[in-house]
Amino acid sequence: MITLLFASPKDWPDYQTALPQALAQAGIAARIIHDAPSDAAQVDYIIYAPSSPLQDFTPFAGCKAVLSLWAGVERIVGNATLTQPLCRMVEDGLTEGMVEWVVGHVMRHHLGLDAHIVNPGRDWRPVPPPLARDRQVAMLGMGALGAACARALAGLNFNVTGWSRTGGQVGGIAVQSGKDGLRDVLATADFIVTLLPKTPETENLLNGETLAFAKRGAFLLNPGRGALIDDTALLAALDTGQIAHATLDVFRTEPLPKDHPFWAHPHITITPHIAADTRATGAARALVENIRRGEAGEMLLHRVDRARGY
């Protein structure tokens, strides 16, 4: 019998059925606790959200892994007391949600839907949209989420080029890297999608200099992290038309403060960090698969590299 500490009280109602079910399906006998026992060293795995009250991992000497309920781990990756392996969340529901959000918001701008949805003058404006095959997408970040979005857009005939730390090819999509690669992918993109983690290297990646690399009038979608973009530089790029419109799901401060200039900008659409949510059923299966692997001595999936920060 293993001991699991479920350390995110606010998430427990979603998992109280799904997690025991997934454990039973995998044939894993587990005791699920919510507070560290008197002997914290008994805890085998910690299921964790970066918003959890637990911040000191020192007492959990026997813990084999900390399994995050979130895909983004920037709030915990630098915690010096966390010496156990840390795994981030990758699960189908999260990925599908992100694909739907990205495809939906790309299609809004690709098809020019705004002009038809809000048309108080009843203007008959027959401007047929170009085909996806004539549009270029830059997918910045080609990990679990970026690659899935890139594949979905390529499946609709968009020309997609990726950009990542290591570059290469992902599922038949060419991926550039480095600053020159970034300049190249931005220079031709009609749509720029940022699905990068927040790390010291990616913070303010889109700034005055790099936004100037973009093709004039590009649409920007940021479902990654707010800190990827320099807010002031984005506002300036929107004001000059360098960026036609920004659809933002994530912000440096969340909820976005009511007096933030993004709210009032006519070329910014704000969604309140809803692009992709972890779904308990799939997430419980993903957590249990890593617990099974841990118990079988197999390699854990989606392990965070502390040095890289993601």
Enzyme catalytic residues: 225, 273
Count CB atoms within 10 A of the CB of residue 92: 14
- The answer to the question of residue 275 lying near ligand NAP (CB under 6 A) is yes
CA 305 to chain centre: 17
Among 165, 260, 292, 293, binds ligand NAP (CB under 6 A): 165
Sheet with 243-248, side-by-side order of all strands: 168-170, 173-176, 159-163, 136-140, 191-194, 218-222, 243-248, 268-270
Length of the chain: 310
Contact in structure between 176 and 141 (CB atoms under 8 Å): no
Window 54 to 93, contacts with ligand NAP (CB under 6 A): 71-72, 90
- The answer to the question of residue 141 lying near ligand NAP (CB under 6 A) is yes
The piece of 34-42, 60-68, 123-131, 273-281 that touches ligand NAP (CB under 6 A) is 273-281
What CA–CA distance (Å, rounded) separates 228 from 310? Answer: 14
What CA–CA distance (Å, rounded) separates 36 from 34? Answer: 7
Count CB atoms within 10 A of the CB of residue 44: 19
Contact in structure between 76 and 68 (CB atoms under 8 Å): yes
Window 170 to 199, contacts with ligand NAP (CB under 6 A): 195-199
Element (H, E) at 51: none
The piece of 31-39, 111-119, 136-144, 252-260 that touches ligand NAP (CB under 6 A) is 136-144
Query: Minimum Å distance from CB 212 to ligand NAP?
Result: 19
Nearer to ligand NAP, 143 or 282 (CB): 143
Query: Minimum Å distance from CB 228 to ligand NAP?
Result: 8
Nearer to ligand NAP, 40 or 193 (CB): 193
Enter the DSSP assignment of 206.
B
Q: Is the peptide bond before 255 cis (omega within 30 degrees of 0)?
A: yes
Q: Which residue is nearest to ligand NAP (CB)?
A: 143
Nearer to ligand NAP, 239 or 254 (CB): 254
Query: Minimum Å distance from CB 90 to ligand NAP?
Result: 6
- The answer to the question of residue 290 lying near ligand NAP (CB under 6 A) is no
Q: Which of 92, 12, 19, 23 is nearest to 49 (CA)?
A: 12
Nearer to ligand NAP, 23 or 304 (CB): 304
Window 216 to 255, contacts with ligand NAP (CB under 6 A): 223-225, 249-250
The piece of 21-29, 56-64, 161-169, 262-270 that touches ligand NAP (CB under 6 A) is 161-169
Sheet with 45-48, side-by-side order of all strands: 30-33, 2-6, 45-48, 65-68, 86-87
Rule CB under 6 A: which residues touch ligand NAP? 71-72, 90, 94, 141-146, 164-166, 195-199, 201-202, 223-225, 249-250, 273, 275-276, 310
